[in-house]
């Protein structure tokens, strides 16, 4: 890992087990044959993917549905581990990967700020100090003492984004979820992301909004069926995606 690298992905492989529904007859035959062969199938979601990210770089992860983008973000954030290869990260990560992840449904917005802040590495004092700003940025003061199971997906995003930006992360991972925010809040998030970029933070974004990612990122990494097929200028990556060349 060079001095300026904040993420290093080396030959990452991630496999999932796909379960299939089998008829009783298939199951009996399988038992009869001494349970030889597999009743499940292994699916390779990421195959030998390598890249590194330098401090301050902004990267869009592109690819069609199911190409492995979210899986890659989950590996980088540590929510999942690789089956082969290695992922090294330097610095504090904040990930907005799944709406509602890191939130407990039976706790209120207020309590979840503390829970989520702690998960993202903030101390109680730091959360106390940032609490009012977090709530103000989210604009959901009215519902802050409501259990989050009653929140809409946009309200989850508001709280999650707000906590994440206040943790002062070195690396920000954002999956599609900005799409669930309304337009004014999306604009506010994008402005904050621009500020993070100016502060020299690193950014990895997954989005199908190609114009948006082309305006936010310098670099584009294109995944095709779990394999990295392009890593370079974001406009080139977007053009390849639009031409369907990665198919
Ligand atoms: N937990 C899981 N168990 C089984 N298969 C999974 C799991 N998570 C992801 N997959 C499979 O891995 C592949 C890659 O999924 P992933 O969500 O990373 O794709 P993606 O590029 O983010 O897609 P999209 O653009 O639709 O969000 C898909 O075929 C998906 O079905």
Ligand 1 touching residue 117 (CB < 6 A): no
Atom of ligand 1 nearest to the CA of 17: 4
| Residues in contact with 115: Cβ distance below 8 Å, sequence separation at least 6, in sequence order | 102, 103, 104, 107
From ligand 1's centre to the CA of 16, what distance in Å? 9
* C-alpha to C-alpha distance for 99 and 157, rounded to whole angstroms: 6
Ligand 1 touching residue 66 (CB < 6 A): yes
Q: What is the mean pLDDT of the chain?
A: 89
Assess whether pLDDT exceeds 90 at residue 22. Answer: no
Predicted TM-score (pTM) of this structure: 0.86
Find, among 40, 62, 78, the residue nearest to 211 by Cα: 62
Ligand 1 touching residue 63 (CB < 6 A): yes
For 5-19+42-243, CATH gives 3.40.50.300
| Residues in contact with 229: Cβ distance below 8 Å, sequence separation at least 6, in sequence order | 222, 223, 240, 246
Residue with CA nearest ligand 1 atom 19: 66
Sort 16 into a burial class: Cβ within 10 Å, 0-12 / 13-18 / 19+.
middle
Residue with CA nearest ligand 1 atom 27: 65
Q: Which residues lie across from 201 on neighbouring strands?
A: none
Segments making up each domain of the chain, as ranges: 5-19+42-243
Backbone torsion region of residue 78, taken as left when φ is above 0, otherwise alpha when ψ lies between -120 and 50, otherwise beta? left
Atom of ligand 1 nearest to the CA of 14: 12
Its ipTM equals 0.96
| Under 8 Å between Cβ of 79 and 97 | yes
Rounded to an integer, the average pLDDT of 62-76 is 93
Ligand 1 touching residue 16 (CB < 6 A): yes
Pick 189 or 39 by higher pLDDT.
189
Q: What is the pLDDT of residue 228?
A: 97
Percent pLDDT > 90 in the chain is 55
* C-alpha to C-alpha distance for 131 and 152, rounded to whole angstroms: 21
Q: What is the pLDDT of residue 157?
A: 87
Q: In what order do the strands lie in the sheet with 202-206?
A: 93-96, 171-174, 202-206, 58-62, 219-224, 227-233
Range list of H helices, the chain: 24-32, 69-77, 109-119, 124-138, 153-166, 183-198, 210-216, 234-243
Decide: helix, strand or coil at residue 9. Answer: strand
Q: What is the pLDDT of residue 37?
A: 66
Taking only the tens place, the pLDDT of each residue in 158-216 is: 998 899 888 888 999 998 877 778 889 988 888 988 999 999 999 999 988 899 899 99
Q: Which of 66-80, 96-110, 149-163, 231-245 has the lowest mean pLDDT?
A: 96-110
Give 39's pLDDT tier (boundaries 50, 70, 90).
Answer: low
Assess whether pLDDT exceeds 70 at residue 143. Answer: yes
Find, among 54, 34, 13, the residue nearest to 231 by Cα: 54
Give 28's pLDDT tier (boundaries 50, 70, 90).
Answer: confident
Ligand 1 touching residue 62 (CB < 6 A): no
Given ligand 1 and candidates 71, 175, 177, which is best to mutate, with the most ligand atoms within 8 Å of its CB?
Answer: 71
Q: What is the pLDDT of residue 21?
A: 66
Backbone torsion region of residue 11, taken as left when φ is above 0, otherwise alpha when ψ lies between -120 and 50, otherwise beta? left
Assess whether pLDDT exceeds 90 at residue 128. Answer: yes
Give 38's pLDDT tier (boundaries 50, 70, 90).
Answer: low
Q: What is the pLDDT of residue 102?
A: 78
Residue with CA nearest ligand 1 atom 25: 65
Q: Which of 134-143, 207-216, 221-230 has the lowest mean pLDDT?
A: 207-216
Q: What is the pLDDT of residue 116?
A: 86
């Amino acid at each position: 890992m060079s001095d300026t690298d904040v993420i290093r992905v080396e030959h990452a492989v991630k496999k999932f087990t796909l379960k299939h529904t089998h008829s009783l007859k298939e199951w009996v035959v399988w038992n009869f044959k001494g349970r030889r062969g597999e009743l499940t199938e292994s699916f390779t979601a990421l195959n030998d993917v390598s890249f590194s990210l330098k401090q301050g770089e902004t990267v869009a992860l592109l690819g069609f549905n199911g190409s492995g983008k979210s899986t890659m973000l989950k590996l980088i954030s540590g929510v999942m581990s690789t089956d082969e290869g290695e992922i090294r990260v330097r610095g504090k990560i904040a990930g907005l990967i799944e709406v509602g992840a890191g939130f407990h449904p039976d706790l209120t917005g207020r309590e979840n700020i503390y829970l989520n802040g702690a998960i993202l590495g903030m101390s109680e004092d730091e959360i106390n100090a940032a609490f009012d700003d977090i709530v103000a940025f989210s604009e959901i003061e009215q519902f802050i003492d409501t259990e989050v199971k009653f929140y809409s997906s946009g309200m989850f995003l508001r709280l999650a984004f707000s906590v994440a930006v206040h943790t002062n992360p070195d690396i920000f991972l954002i999956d599609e979820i900005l799409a669930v925010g309304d337009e004014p809040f999306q604009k506010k998030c994008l402005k904050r992301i621009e500020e993070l970029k100016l502060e020299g933070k690193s950014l990895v974004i997954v989005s199908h909004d190609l114009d948006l990612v082309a305006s936010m990122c310098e670099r584009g990494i294109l995944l095709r069926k779990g394999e990295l097929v392009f890593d370079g200028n974001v406009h080139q990556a977007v053009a390849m995606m639009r031409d369907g060349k990665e198919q």
